[in-house]
Structures are given as C-alpha cells and as structure tokens.
Structure 1
Amino acid sequence: MTVLNTILTIVFIILSIVITVIILMQEGKSAGLGAIAGAADTYWGKNKGRSMEGMLVKLTRIFVILFLVIAMVLNLGIW
C-alpha cells in the first residue's frame, strides 16, 4: 500500500500544479468598460462555453473534483 500512497501523492502534487496553471490562464470575470457600451453581447460572449475559456472552466471543474477525491483518499490513513 505504500506504493499506492506514493503514486497518489505524486498525482496529487501534479494536479495541484495543473489546477494552478489552468486558473491563472483564465480571464477575469469583470467586463471592464466594454460592458457599458454593450460590447459583452458579442458572438464570443454568447458562445463562451464552446471557446477556450469554456474549455478551461470545464477542465478546472474536472481537475478540482479529482483533487478533492484524491485528498479524501489520502486522508483516510488506511495505509
């Protein structure tokens, strides 16, 4: 079980680095001054789920769920 613990710890560290990078790659939620003139209603604003930003949000959710599951497994202390 020590080998499994080591593998899970390494995956946990890699996931934490990947989550940090993905979060830093995402754009901020503030629309800035463009929202005043209605620039937020562009094609890319309406189809954000299909863009790179939407993909980053989906990846963030998946990796955070994996991160939490591995954290719970490592915290069980059954090794």
Structure 2
Amino acid sequence: MDKVIFDVLLVAMLIVSAILVVSILMQPSKQDGAADAFSGGSGELFERRKARGFEAVMQRFTAITIGIWLLLGFMLVVLSTK
C-alpha cells in the first residue's frame, strides 16, 4: 500500500514541478529596475511595487504551487523513511 501511495505522490510531484516551471517562466520580466540600479538610475531597486492584474495572479499561483510542491516533497521524504 505504501508503494502505491509513494508512486502516486511521485507522479503528482513531477506534474506539479512541470507546472511550477511553466508558471515561473510566464511571470513578467523585471529587468527594467535592475538596469537602472546598476547604472545609477532612479533607485527603483528597493521600491516595492504592488503587483496588479496578470502579474498578481501569477505571483499567487506560483506561491501556492511552491507550497504544494514542498508539501509533496515532505510527504515523499516521510514515506521513504518507512
């Protein structure tokens, strides 16, 4: 029974990993502020701008996906020690 649960969790981990990679790659680039910070620009590097629209949705989705990924990883570790 433990082997079946382990295999199901492993497949779920692989699927969530693929979704996580795609969600990270879909997030908008923030290179604008980095270029200004290194060239002595306006100092927007340390300003915290609130995400809106698509960017906010992707940030929340990525955070939730990371949480699920960590939970699955922890469950796999616990099952592998039995």
Q: TM-score, normalised by structure 2?
A: 0.70
Other structure's SS at 2:31 match:
coil
Moved over 6 A (4+): none
Q: Partner of 2:70 in structure 1?
A: 68
What is the rounded CA distance, in whole Å, between the counterparts of 2:17 and 2:56 in structure 1? 20
Q: Whole-Å Cα distance in 1 between the matches of residues 13 and 50 of structure 2?
A: 33
1:2 to partner: Cα distance: 1.1
Determine helix, strand or coil for the equivalent of 2:29.
Answer: coil
Residue 48, structure 1, aligned to residue 46, structure 2: no
Counterpart CA distance in 2 for 1:4 and 1:74 is 9
- Aligned mates of 1:48, 1:70 — CA distance in 2: 28
Identity of aligned residues (%): 24
- Ranked by relative contact order (alpha carbons within 8 Å, sequence separation 6 or more), the top structure is 1
* Structure 1 residues without counterparts, runs of 5 or longer: 37-45
User: Paired residues, what number?
Assistant: 67
| 1:19-38 residue CA offsets vs partner (Å, 9 max, x unmatched) | 000000001223368xx7xx
1:21 aligns with 2:34: no
- Distance in 2 of aligned mates of 1:67 and 1:47: 25
2:46 equivalent in structure 1: none
